[in-house]
Structure 1
């Protein structure tokens, strides 16, 4: 059945449906544009139904917009598109809302909904005012007449047949918004158009064809910062259809319609080759770039998601096959390869077999390479991805991936001579390793327990990530005698330097060699084996005599605290939201994805750095404490910064990762407010809030209690940085504000995990209104407080405490284990077991 409309649909609220809603589409009905170019309807993809706009007569790819990407309908029957009396479009199935637009609060009885021949669905008032349009909420396709702005972006489908949001997006590149970039997983930028100059993008001259299309670009410094294009009229009066599309495999392509061939013609695609797309083949996947098959598994590995692999979704990558019948592993030579997203440890060894033995003893080791010239092998850890075969210039000496003996799942059924020989050789190798280990132990005892990383290197192991060992003189020259101070971090001062290869670095010099030795070793061993886009990378170190220095990648835009001053630079909302999400992802990686759970212990704006693209990177792991996967708590000497310390630290109980969640929540409040949490008293009504009773301490005004109350009451705009004006996404701001208050709950069990925080910020989990944190005031005033309960395993609880300037030794408490798969703010479902 088709609902064909020539010009527009006049919506009249009738008694046949409901006094408050009107049915627009139902079942297999469609809404067509005047010339039947486009149609709106409920169409089937991957055995589910989506409200979508598509070309009426053109073949695949013909779908240009999808509404309910996150919530498909199971059947066409029972799916209804309504228009409410408040001017909101709502898609439902069996009375369950699958998708909706924000209310326009236009209660006119003759609102009009029309689908234009441009592919734009418009809801307008009787006076012609556009209340909502699909062009403002694009999906994966960019059509003529559609403007992309700093507030919207294109996101790929999951696969060619699955409209679920994929892993790749096209957006205007912050902070200047003068070019487009392709981004993997909302964090990793892997290609850009170059700046818009003289009517074209530097990297894509094909994107501007003056006789076919007219492009326009509003100033990136305007609130709109939008870019769009329109078709030029030809001699015949029409141009063939064209569109830009972000593909599920990470490329952006321009398609034009070829009338003679009766199909779409790809005009250009970027990046080329397709193997430059990040994360395309997932972990242990090799990009081969063939049209029929983009990826294959590393030899000895198998697809983790066989169905997805078959449909073109390679993102979940591959897993190592089963071990041999004896449970042992071996190595397969992949030759010269290149890959990313891996952690590395350097090991001194005389042969590759020695390095293989070291790798096999560590269950986390997934492969290695050996350089005979230097006698150094590199053992790799983590989920390696982005493999590419090279003809040269890959891993020195080739890369050897750890696989089950006999190949992928190869279980040998015959005990032949080769197996016997392997067993004998293995026994000899193991005995040799045992003898070497005994010799090393004897050597250590005779050496009187020497300390320092130099001795560890001589013993054959350096627990660091592909780091360079600098001499003190090198760093002294690089920093011009430590003259350019750029900050003061934990236990030391940070200087800007320039290495011999002209790369700019940040050099952190520990200023307390005696007390700082432990922190230095902790940072090297911790940061050195961690790599994540939202964590600062350690490039090298110096451990010469009494000198202790760390060399980091340099963050061009400094620390977040620089932007939290009224007289300082102002970050746009887009940057702030990316900082919030990026920081959460970095902390979540430390908590949940590292081989050992890492509690940072000092999350604050000073330890959140911004690179040249304003990507947030968490820094300063000097206070980090590592705990094994089998434990949920760690006892520490209380450190950190006042104002960010969780209540359980004050009450004298052992902390968990939820202490970092609390500090992150406090930092979020500063981020959205564009100010520090502790400031001099404000005049009554100033700055959106005044020092209300109970919010002051020692002449200083504490922002969080006042902000939390406003957020809970629904007055998020009162808390927002006034320098932003109205240039921010209201829904995102509300989400960030509510998450901040959930993070600073008194009871750590009420706080979400950082992994859940990421999902809440990204809109994958609905965020409800939290209860007010009651201990904030007590933490500020130093009064005794009650309510933080630490179960010591015998029914006793620990309450009370006050702030002090000195260190506070944390009392011993038995560990507790918290489990639960879903964070439900209104009905927290947490199982607690004491062990």
Structure 2
């Protein structure tokens, strides 16, 4: 064969150049920065030389767009994803439910993004767009955006969240997150989170099992509808229009990278990543307790809450051999499947004979606290029949006292072991197995073990007697049912009878906490031998329940009309209020004249004993934590509950402490549950001397700002370590050696709020701090709390911050307000009258001061001292629990 001619060589070179020009520019091409343009093609195979299919990065390289395989090399499931480079975290994926192969292609055209299989099958695409695409941009915040030629956004990945959102991304009302099956399988899992008008909810099997306000650090700011959820450097927020915060969950200090992710195990996680340490920090986890996860222990497994939650089976059930969960011990009974499910085996069931296994009273179900009854005021048989006729119903919970029926539909989750008996008793549907291979029912074939039932011939007299007894039973049953339904109707309408002649039927109140017999509580308290507190309506005793749980038992002693109303209010309100900073009502007793309330036990007693006692000194951080916990509890009462609750008696005696100075507000007997139309008419005098807001004395409307005033007074006591109205402590002498320094009166008596105001005006904040701290606190730390306290005690309620704002100021998310001198001048009147009256009648006659101020203060000159005097008999009507 001869040598090729020069013309042949030139022709060959031209052909090679043409071939290279026709090969797509993306073939192992360079990674684009920030923008790519239409007629672009990418796949993992084409970009195999570029860091696992990466074809686009954000401007600073924080994020990358990649066709990525999160699994092993053998798995070969690829997803078009946006990935945070430093932490290697997928924040969004397009085709999570239809993975690509390594040869499938992504195409960017003027119509949008399309992913097609190698055999031209459709996998995923962006929706129809309003105009042609000019460019695809990957922003520095991780948002993937399609732009038109006017730089207007046509489509954004932020609007189509998968299981993760990042700082700057919003979840709109109705939008949410869906968990992945695993870190390697990005397809949709069993859990979802969605934004509702009132909260953010976690769901499993279409039923709620947790919400954002269940975070111990979360609280509600306003009673407004939620429009979207957002995450930023300071917290997680549910927002209304503009900058109106409805619910917020504060977060620790700023981080390099922060995400919210709905994990495949059903936990809602807020995490931050440090570029320095290359480590993740889990900042918020919800639910915090594994036993609140619906499927933690599998179907019918029982979760036992402990340091590390464990799984077991209840009586009558055993562990399933092939999976997590429990199955009936009986060999001829199986748990049912829902209508649209396929049974685990081919065994046939006689569905006309449904049996129910009753669960023990110490078992609850994850959904019970979120569901409304399917039926109310019915008998157990009605509830059972309702479930039997519904193929989707797998069991039910029934409350005998209220006749409430809750159906369990579609799928069974785990049960929760609880310490106290449950008022909702569970019943699980069982199907009877057909054993015969020919499909016939052998339920009547017992091998001759049936005992024939002889016919019973009744004499005429016996028949008449039975008919008579039956009629009597029917009449009694109807009377009892009519009475119960009447009471239930009254409760629904909010009619609580407080007359002395009416003994309320507690058995008909839905949702009550555990009811104890008097003998049980008498035994628990060793016949009420250990008193731990006392107040105007009762005495508090320490008790131990049979399960070794410590409780505080309040024995109501004033059983007049007011006492009964107090008791009903406590039961109705506290039993439904749950917050980490509010004392929990565990149960109650109502037997004749005996009325008792059972609370969780707080082993550090009340704040007054710790703050003013002779024990160890409260360090500054402990004081700050107590102040913040109290503020959070009040903020929840004011705006986190379904209805506004005003405590009306905030004082150190009603602030209880537990291990590590966990704070809980107690004594809701003086609370008033307000609707918006009634709040302006609540003017009845309540509270305790030294903490009453000025509006109590002027017959002005009482609002949540009244609690704010009391909180401000308590905050001053927390800072100073002394009562606001008491003899001066030597430790508070001023620098010039004068015992009063010319401030706040003379002699040995001191009205401390006025002293704090004067020290604030002179910027001498260390003079206000408790001398027992011996300088272990900075002037700036004291200044912050003193300013917050003075803002809270403004004379005009409108000038006081809300408790939500107080929480924000303490946490640092809201600037600390500046006290207004003009609205604090009344403290000078109080201080002067305190000094004058203490000389004449002793330092404890605080209400004489209030009467004199009422006539002397310019802002209250229209009210006579006689008005204030008329309330003296009800000034001190509550005590510690």
Q: TM-score by structure 2 length? A: 0.46
Which structure has the bigger radius of gyration?
Answer: 2
Structure in which a larger fraction of residues adopt helix? 2
